[in-house]
Amino acid sequence: MIQYILGRFVLIVPTIVAVSIVVFLMLYLTPGDPAIIYLGDTPATPARVAQIRHAMGLDRPLSTQYLSYVARLVRGDLGRSLRNDDTVLGEIQYRFPSSAQLAGAAFVVTVTLGIGLGLISALSRGTWLDASAMILALLGVSMPIFWLGLMLIFVFSLQLGWFPATGFGGWERLVLPAVTLGLLTSATLARLARSSVLEILWQPYIRTARAKGLAKGHVVRRHVLRNALILLITVAGLQLGDLLSGAVITETVFARPGLGKLLVDAILNKDFPVVQGVVLLIAVAYTLINLGVDVSYAYFDPRIRFE
Amino acid sequence: MLGGVLLVLVIVATLLAPLLTPYNPLALSPTDRMLPPGPHHLLGTDEFGRDVLTRILFGARTSLRTGLVAVSLAIVIGVPMGLASGFYGGLIDRLLMRLVDLMLTFPGILLALVIVAILGPSLFNAMLAVGISASPTYARVVRSSVLSTKPHFFVEAAQAIGCRNWRIMLRHILPNVVAPIVVLGTLGVAGAIIAAAALSFLGLGAQPPEPEWGALLSEGRNFLLDAWWIATFPGLAIMVTVLAINLLGDGLRDVLDPQLRT
């Protein structure tokens, strides 16, 4: 198992290197002189621009610039924000807890609701329960997350006054954003959970389990869920990626000071070092999540690690 | 069926927008500020006195066009990549698939955000961003369809009579992978409408005063307490349209490509 994990870990190194190249090149792909972008709206003489170019190392070959970028990354130096001169790493560290809390809580909503709805729907196939669960899921897939967030604020904050609409800190500020983000991703998971459970219900081993007189609950827990788990772990893992990017929108709707809001504000302010730092972090986190999904596969399904 | 009917209704309403409403989507009317839904303004007015229904109808043009253009772009980029990758295999396949993997490292809307960060916020750039970021999915699906089509005798026969590779790809393989592209493309329009609306909502797509569904919602969010209708109805419009497209896509999938059924 350890060998398997190490093997998978080695495979993600090229991906992370490629991601770092893309993030590094972002600034150079932007139309215009990177030095002028770095200067922002402040007017500057050509001499000042040249000075910035030199200070940023823009007058050196691109490969040298990339290597020094990587060297800085390894030291944990992601540069400084153009807006307030804070270190990007510091900004990220400050915002990270809010985003992690949101993603974690939303993931719990996604898994509970998604697998629960899918399972109920599949086990009561063809009934009104199945139909209503799937209509709910279809509505969930079709609903824009930012609208759902606004509607929840309207009903539960402005009308009923149950939860605060914005900000970070305390569980009461987490409920609405987590439900918004989680509801959306659980809809996809519910649809997939239903179809994979239905497929398993047709398998001969389920018929055998029933034929030998096992209780329905036992069949579901031991035979249906265990076999559906592989697919559901994959999808839930991939949903975590959606949660990471969905957090960008949710945080803006609920004005939560997280990484997503930091990213959107940085794009609007052309604060490139911050954009690069946050994008790099999310992409690397997503790659590691995928690695985690692969490893958990192998854990739950021994066939995979022996292949 | 229901999805198709709903979608036709949305499209007809969009095309007939100037006939269905007497108002101009951009004209300001300070005396009519934030009027609730009523007989003169069925869905109320916004903070500048503009009719919300009119802006939704005209916004539908922008949003539907954005969705269609973005998906077309994704198909134009993704399908040739998938065709070449599956058909040639070897180094070309490895290179193209690594590129696809790299693009998929940026989850969900993140790749679109990266592209908008590079190109700058505008509706056109949002369309490009959504289209490019959706293309890897098409490349992957087409590649796997090509791989399952390639071993057939008709491909070997075409090679035997001396057909050029591009002809085999376009005339013999492509028609066999059209079904998944149609299904994915239909469902993709729904996703693209939401993604583009999300970018506009964040201020990175359509810019005011252009009526676009995401931008309309963004305008309405500051008036949720005093004028709930400004943000509520554009969201419902997005939901109904996306629901219609999803229903249509699901139906098409069941007919054209039962294997994709989830």
In this structure, is residue A85 part of a structural domain?
no
CB neighbour list of residue B127: distance below 8 Å, 6 or more residues apart: B66, B69, B70, B73, B196
Phi/psi region, residue B27 (left: phi>0; alpha: psi -120 to 50; beta: rest), is: beta
pLDDT for B258 equals 57
Between CA B214 and CA A291 the distance in angstroms is 34
Q: b or e along A49-78 (b: 16 or more beta carbons within 10 Å of the residue's beta carbon)?
A: beebbeeeebeeeeeebeeebeeebeeeeb
Q: Is the pLDDT of residue A299 over 80?
A: no
Residue whose structure tokens are 């389920």 = A206
In this structure, is residue A306 part of a structural domain?
no
Give the CATH number, domain containing residue B223. Answer: 1.10.3720.10
pLDDT band at B259 (very low <50, low <70, confident <90, very high): low
Q: Is the pLDDT of residue A62 over 90?
A: no
Contact (CB<8Å) B231/A145: no
Say if residue A108 is in the same domain as residue A238.
yes
Say if residue A56 is in the same domain as residue A117.
no
The secondary structure of residue B38, as a DSSP letter, is -
Say if residue A161 is in the same domain as residue A216.
yes
Chain A residues touching residue B109 (CB < 8 angstroms): 245-246, 248-249
pLDDT band at A287 (very low <50, low <70, confident <90, very high): confident
Each residue of A135-162: pLDDT tens digit? Answer: 888 888 889 999 999 999 999 988 888 9
Tell me which of B80-94, B142-156, B189-203 is least confident: B142-156
Q: Is the pLDDT of residue B14 over 90?
A: no
Between CA A240 and CA A181 the distance in angstroms is 11
Q: What percent of chain B has pLDDT over 70?
A: 98
CB neighbour list of residue A183: distance below 8 Å, 6 or more residues apart: A109, A113, A140, A148
In this structure, is residue B254 part of a structural domain?
yes
Can you state the angle between helices B123-149 and B110-119, rounded to 10 degrees? 130
Q: Is the pLDDT of residue A307 over 80?
A: no
**Amino acid at position B128, single letter:** L
Q: How many domains does chain A have?
A: 2
Each residue of B200-224: pLDDT tens digit? Answer: 998 888 888 888 888 888 888 888 8
Each residue of A213-229: pLDDT tens digit? Answer: 888 888 888 888 888 87
Say if residue A102 is in the same domain as residue A58.
no
Between CA B72 and CA A24 the distance in angstroms is 29
Contact (CB<8Å) A138/B246: yes
Domain range holding A215? 94-300
Q: Are B141 and B256 in contact (CB under 8 A)?
A: no
Contact (CB<8Å) B98/A150: no
Q: Are B86 and B169 in contact (CB under 8 A)?
A: no
User: What three-state secondary structure class fits B45?
Assistant: strand
pLDDT for A304 equals 64
In this structure, is residue A6 part of a structural domain?
no
- Most B-contacting residue of A23, A121, A147 (CB-CB within 10 A), to test interface: A147
Around A219, how many Cα atoms within 13 Å sit in the side-chain half-sphere? 20
> pTM of the prediction?
0.86
CB neighbour list of residue A246: distance below 8 Å, 6 or more residues apart: A106, A145, A181, A184, A185, B108, B109
Asked if the C-beta of A247 comes within 8 angstroms of chain B's C-beta atoms, the answer is: no
Asked if the C-beta of A29 comes within 8 angstroms of chain B's C-beta atoms, the answer is: yes
Say if residue A289 is in the same domain as residue A156.
yes
Q: Measured between CA atoms, how close is B117 to chain A, in angstroms?
A: 5
In this structure, is residue B22 part of a structural domain?
no
In this structure, is residue A7 part of a structural domain?
no
**Top-ranked range on mean pLDDT: pick from A174-178, A237-241, B207-211:** A174-178
Domain boundary among A51, A77, A103: A77
In this structure, is residue B43 part of a structural domain?
no
pLDDT for B72 equals 95
A3 or A265: whose pLDDT is higher? A265
Question: Looking at the partner chain, which of B105, B117, B197 has a beta carbon nearest the beta carbon of A15?
Answer: B105
Residues B13-17: what's their mean pLDDT? 84
Say if residue A113 is in the same domain as residue A240.
yes
Say if residue A54 is in the same domain as residue A167.
no
pLDDT band at B262 (very low <50, low <70, confident <90, very high): very low
Q: Is the four-CA dihedral B67, B69, B71, B73 of positive or negative sign? A: negative
Chain A residues touching residue B215 (CB < 8 angstroms): none
In this structure, is residue A84 part of a structural domain?
no
Each residue of A88-128: pLDDT tens digit? Answer: 899 899 888 888 889 889 999 988 888 888 888 988 888 89
Domain boundary among A77, A102, A118: A77
Between CA B174 and CA A77 the distance in angstroms is 48
Q: Is the pLDDT of residue A306 over 70?
A: no
The secondary structure of residue A157, as a DSSP letter, is I
Rg of chain B in Å (alpha carbons): 22
Asked if the C-beta of A153 comes within 8 angstroms of chain B's C-beta atoms, the answer is: yes
Between CA A119 and CA B133 the distance in angstroms is 32
In this structure, is residue B132 part of a structural domain?
yes
pLDDT for A232 equals 75
Q: Is the pLDDT of residue A253 over 60?
A: yes
Question: Which residue of B lies nearest to A160 if distances are taken between CA atoms?
Answer: B225
Give the CATH number, domain containing residue A247. Answer: 1.10.3720.10
B5 or A245: whose pLDDT is higher? B5
Say if residue A199 is in the same domain as residue A119.
yes
In this structure, is residue B31 part of a structural domain?
no
Q: How many domains does chain B have?
A: 1
Say if residue A41 is in the same domain as residue A167.
no
Domain range holding B176? 51-261
Contact (CB<8Å) B197/A18: no
